[in-house]
Amino acid sequence: QVQLVEAGGGLVQAGGSLRLSCAAAGRTCSKYAMGWFRQAPGKEREFVATIIGGSTYYAGSVKGRFTISGDNAKNTLYLQMNRLQPEDTAVYYCAASTRARVSYYRGSDYDYWGQGTQLTVSS
């Protein structure tokens, strides 16, 4: 079992920055795919970014603005978000996949999810 707890959401103005964190407990997640997804009101959950080993993958809408990273010693995943835009407003979820093969952009391939943290970007 893996427990994931997100933190760091809040209210920020457009153009600002924020960093989300996801603390993992129960298993060492360095070998897993660890990712961020988000869900805006009235929309489906969408892929944001994933880190698998040393490789990172991003959705086109956040590439160049968001950076995913992990601290194996702390078993913590981060999402640094810069140049935030109102359309980034959503609940952000941390997720972990224990599968040997994973389609990193597919939420159904992730086995564990955090409770989510709200990000609101004002214009």
**Cα dist from 11 to 76, 80, 88, whole Å:** 22, 15, 11
Q: What is the DSSP letter of 1?
A: -
pLDDT tens, position by position, for the chain (123 residues)? 889 999 999 999 999 999 999 999 876 666 689 999 999 999 999 999 999 988 999 999 999 999 999 998 888 999 999 999 999 999 999 999 988 888 999 999 999 999 999 999 999
| CA dist., res. 8 & res. 20, Å (int) | 5
Closest CA to 22 of 68, 88, 87: 68
How far apart CA 23 and CA 16 sit, in angstroms, is 23
Residue 72: per-residue pLDDT: 86
pLDDT of residue 120: 98
Write down the pLDDT at residue 1. Answer: 81
Residue type, 62: V
